[in-house]
Amino acid sequence: MHLLEEGLAPLGLTLTHRQLQDFHRYYEELASWNQRVNLTRIIDYSQVQTRHFLDSLTVSLVLPDEVKKGGRIVDVGTGAGFPGLPLKIAFPGLRLALVESVGKKAAFLNHMVEVLKLSDVEVHHGRAETLAHEPSMREGFDVALARGLAPLRTLAELTLPFCRVGGVLIAHKKGNITREVQDARDAVSLLGGEMVGKTPIKIEGLKDRRLLIVIRKLKATAARYPRRSGIPRKRPL
């Protein structure tokens, strides 16, 4: 995990030997399962360290300190566990919920939780449009995460309902997203949020203009959102 370890300095992070071992085991299981389950296109050992693990940990740049110590986070559309599981390895105090609609990916996530002996991690197999209406999950999280989930207008509808008032949505984006951010402002406001920042990622190995979008939840999201399954993508707000 030397590439991962070298990339931590700009984030102000260090990992213990045990944590690095956990990341290595994560890679081994990811590579093994990917032979029979389509978890990710990126499986090269070096690229997984940078484009999956390190990229996930960039969230720490904007993650509130109190959340790192024991906040409640939901990772929506987590796929093979990114960015949620790497953050949990780095910050063991996090209380993490992983939302994934694909059954085989959810099975992998449950497997990783068991293999790494992670506590305070829940895997929710289902669609965000449904899970965000469950009383135990609606507006119950300090932070919602989304990485490569959807354009920002759709992403906001799928994630902001999980955030408590005062919480934040952190979304991974890359490239020139000026128009995407402008197009999403009304939708974000309608859902109770406000754009508060864009943080560029300047780390060796992550060169495709990656950045983190931060949206703060100012007021409760109207009960009708998110709309039923598939509608946020077909008819963005």
CATH number, position 101: 3.40.50.150
Q: Where are the beta strands (DSSP E) in the chain?
A: 72-76, 95-100, 121-125, 141-147, 163-174, 193-200, 210-217
Total tally of structural domains belonging to the chain? 1
Q: Mind listing the pLDDT tens digit of every residue in the chain (237 residues)?
A: 999 999 999 999 999 999 999 999 999 999 999 999 999 999 999 999 999 999 999 999 999 999 999 999 999 999 999 999 999 999 999 999 999 999 999 999 999 999 999 999 999 999 999 999 999 999 999 999 999 889 999 999 999 999 999 999 999 999 899 999 999 999 999 999 999 999 999 888 787 889 999 999 999 999 999 999 999 999 999
Is pTM beyond 0.85? Reply is yes
Domain that holds residue 198: 2-234
In DSSP notation, 94-157 reads -EEEEEES-HHHHHHHHHHHHHTT-SSEEEEES-HHHHTTSTTTTT-EEEEEEES-S-HHHHHH
Name residue 174's amino acid: K
The residue written with tokens 């024991």 in the block is 70
